[in-house]
């Protein structure tokens, strides 16, 4: 098991990519702390991990709130004494042009997708420095590297995640803290289905369009989780500041 003895804090761990990563990290030997607003769904994941013989705990958390971020980190440290892996995975999407976005939509997407990374990293990094290092993984997107239609604030937020990741890698590499991000393509999660609803498109048609990439399908949460495992484990010990694209070739033909 690649993460034996490690403690991993995963935001948005109750569903989608976060859920798949929580289950995988636990199977690989990590103690998993799930930080999610959806306490009911999060407890289901905790129970799944426990039934499989792993260790997991839930902290109901609004990752855009500084007090909540401080509380979940303090609670984890009190219980386990360290945080080896921080997976800043929580995210939301609003499909709209800048003309159709409300200020509230802009602020909320930026708060959950970007500000949360700042807030949690600010709390976790001092403890990683004391314990000799760690791995921080941020969920960006293919749309953090290339623009997309009717996704202005989402693209802006994920582009910010990519460069925030690189800046943090430069700042904290000397303390043996590796900081990387994953740039998934369309993945079969509730978020992808919500995009179809926001755009007023039939779900089947939307998913068919999303699958138009070299591998001919959308990704699975488990496939993105395996990329997170790579970045969390010693297999990536010389990798920092990278934006790892996991998108079935969706960006391969982009300029």
First to last CA, the chain: 39
Q: What are the E-state strand segments in the chain?
A: 7-11, 31-36, 55-60, 85-88, 134-139, 177-184, 243-246
DSSP-derived secondary structure letter, 187:
B
The phi, psi pair for 215, rounded to 5°, reads -80, -5
Which of 154, 181, 186, 207 is catalytic? The answer is: 154
Active site residue 154: yes
Stated length of the chain: 255
CA dihedral (134, 161, 124, 7) positive or negative: negative
- Give the H or E element holding residue 226: helix 221-232
Question: Under a CB-based contact definition with an 8 Å cutoff, are residues 221 and 20 in contact?
Answer: yes
DSSP assignment letter at 111: I
Cα dihedral 64, 82, 1, 248, rounded to 10, equals: 20
* 146 exposure class (CB count in 10 Å sphere: 0-12, 13-18, 19+): middle
CB-based contacts of 179, cutoff 8 Å, min separation 6: 135, 136, 137, 138, 165, 168, 169, 172, 173, 240, 241
Hey, which residues are catalytic here? 154
């Amino acid at each position: 098991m690649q993460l034996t003895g490690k403690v991993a804090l995963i935001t948005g761990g109750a569903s989608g990519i976060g859920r798949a990563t929580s289950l995988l990290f636990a199977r690989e030997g990590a103690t998993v702390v799930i930080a999610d607003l959806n306490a009911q769904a999060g407890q289901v994941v905790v129970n799944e991990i426990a039934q499989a013989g792993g260790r997991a705990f839930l902290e109901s958390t609004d990752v855009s709130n500084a007090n909540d971020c401080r509380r979940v980190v303090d609670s984890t440290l009190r219980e386990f004494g360290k945080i080896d892996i921080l997976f800043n995975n929580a995210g939301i999407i609003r499909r709209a042009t800048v003309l159709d976005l409300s200020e509230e939509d802009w602020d909320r997407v930026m708060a959950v997708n970007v500000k949360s990374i700042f807030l949690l990293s600010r709390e976790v990094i001092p403890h990683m420095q004391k314990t000799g290092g760690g791995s921080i993984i941020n969920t960006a997107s293919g749309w953090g590297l290339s623009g997309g239609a009717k996704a202005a604030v989402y693209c802006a937020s994920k582009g910010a995640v990519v460069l925030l990741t690189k800046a943090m890698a430069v700042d904290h590499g000397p303390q043996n803290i590796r900081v990387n991000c994953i740039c998934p393509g369309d993945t079969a999660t509730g978020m992808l289905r919500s995009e179809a609803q926001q755009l007023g498109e039939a779900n089947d048609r939307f998913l068919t369009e999303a699958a138009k990439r070299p591998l001919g399908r959308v990704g699975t949460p488990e496939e993105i989780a395996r990329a997170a495992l790579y970045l969390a484990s010693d297999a990536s010990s010389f990798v920092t500041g990278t934006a790892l694209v996991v998108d079935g070739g969706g960006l391969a033909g982009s300029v």
